[in-house]
């Protein structure tokens, strides 16, 4: 009989701790960690209120309702090494593309992949190495968002989820497959007005967004009695932006997120928890400032008391015609270094 050394355990736990907008408590009790990792360096850099923006190919994850307001083609790519200080080959990938279809709204396809790298397989009862195996998770998705009434877009993102943590060793018991859906709504009111300097026309945008993510059956890697819930959560955000084309712009907003992974907490433990820890709530917000529609600076703050992630986010964006590069620096669990995220976007 063979046995595997869980060399990736530390990395997997670190991923659960940094995996985005849920508390550590909820992360450890939910399956499919890749669903908790926010894609898009722009969204990360300005404080994760992006479900009230959702205007590019990362929209299906943040708020599929935002697809209703897109035009033309949008594409987005992201690559991130999540815990380079622990394991250099643990990384996250996201690819998405969206297209506006007249009479339908925006449609999109995405692919998300989380790689845990290689682990060592040993013989039972000894430390003799006999091989290696890989662990990974992925989910392809299809999304649609349509404007049901003026200024209100509703959307859905349907995902197929697959997790393989030890399939090469345990076969079917090391893998699990299920599905999930994200439901989102975005209210966007855009108006033209005179800029503060009175010489150019300005665009002002006010948005409210709400998303319920990862609704679907639990995922099991062993048997149904040991299944784990998906990282279900509710996000609500608001944003306000002003843009003078080819001059300057700013965008600010905030969001609140509530985990929908419910578990009984003993009274003895509950008394030691703060209000945010007890209800597993995350708060975030930030600001983006742009110059000439080409260079953008971003700053934000994440307050995740349950997950012990509290800190400033910051980043920048560089855009030339249809293409853009975004970079962001994000705080993690207090014992881990900050992580840097990069993403590419294109609009046609």
pLDDT tens across the length of the chain (348 residues): 333 434 444 445 445 444 544 444 444 456 788 998 999 999 999 999 999 999 999 999 999 999 999 999 999 999 988 877 777 788 999 999 999 998 889 999 999 999 987 766 665 666 666 666 778 999 999 999 999 999 999 999 999 999 988 765 655 567 889 999 999 999 999 988 765 555 568 899 999 999 999 999 999 877 667 788 999 999 999 999 999 988 999 999 999 999 898 765 555 545 555 555 556 889 999 999 999 999 999 999 999 876 678 899 999 999 998 999 999 999 887 667 788 999 999 998
Reported pTM: 0.85
Domains parsed from the chain with CATH numbers: 2-347 (2.40.160.40)
**245 CB neighbour count, 10 Å cutoff:** 13
Determine the pLDDT at residue 8: 44
CB atoms within 10 A of CB 242: 16
Provide the phi-psi class of 335: left if phi over 0, else alpha when psi is between -120 and 50, else beta: alpha
pLDDT for res 113: 96
Q: Computed from CA positions of residues 320, 101, 239, 341, in that sequence, does the dihedral angle turn out positive or negative?
A: negative
What integer pLDDT is reported at residue 173 of this predicted model?
65
Report the run of H or E that residue 149 belongs to, with start and end.
strand 129-149
The answer to whether the beta carbons of residues 91 and 174 sit under 8 Å apart is no
């Amino acid at each position: 009989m063979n046995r595997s050394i869980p060399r990736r355990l530390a990395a997997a736990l670190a991923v659960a701790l940094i995996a985005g907008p849920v508390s550590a408590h909820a992360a450890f009790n939910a399956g499919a960690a890749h669903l908790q990792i926010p894609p898009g360096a722009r969204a990360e850099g300005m404080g994760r209120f992006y479900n009230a923006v959702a205007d590019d190919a990362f929209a299906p994850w943040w708020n599929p309702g935002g697809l209703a307001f897109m035009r033309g083609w949008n594409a987005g790519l992201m690559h991130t090494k999540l815990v380079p200080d622990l394991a250099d080959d643990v990384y996250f990938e996201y690819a998405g593309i969206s297209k506006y279809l007249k009479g339908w709204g925006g449609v999109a396809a995405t692919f998300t992949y989380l790689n845990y790298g290689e682990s060592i397989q040993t013989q039972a009862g000894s430390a003799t190495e006999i091989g290696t195996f890989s662990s990974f998770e992925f989910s392809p998705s299809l999304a649609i968002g349509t404007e049901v009434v003026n200024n209100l877009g509703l959307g859905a993102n349907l995902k197929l989820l697959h997790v393989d943590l030890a399939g090469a060793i345990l076969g079917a018991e090391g893998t699990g497959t299920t599905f999930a859906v994200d439901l989102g709504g975005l209210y966007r009111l855009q108006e033209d007005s005179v800029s503060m300097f009175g010489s150019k026309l300005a665009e002002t945008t006010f948005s409210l967004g709400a998303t319920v993510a990862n609704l679907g059956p639990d995922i099991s890697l062993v048997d149904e009695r040991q299944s784990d819930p998906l990282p279900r959560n509710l996000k609500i955000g608001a944003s306000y932006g002003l843009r003078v084309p080819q001059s300057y712009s700013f965008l600010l907003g905030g969001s609140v997120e509530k985990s929908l992974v419910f578990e009984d907490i003993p009274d003895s433990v509950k008394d030691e928890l703060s209000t945010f820890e007890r209800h597993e709530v995350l708060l975030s917000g930030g600001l983006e400032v742009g110059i000439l529609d080409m260079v953008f600076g971003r700053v934000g703050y994440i307050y995740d008391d349950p997950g012990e992630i509290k800190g400033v986010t910051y980043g920048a964006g560089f855009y030339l015609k249809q293409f853009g590069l975004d970079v962001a620096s994000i705080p993690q669990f207090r014992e881990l270094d900050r992580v840097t995220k990069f993403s590419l976007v294109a609009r046609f």
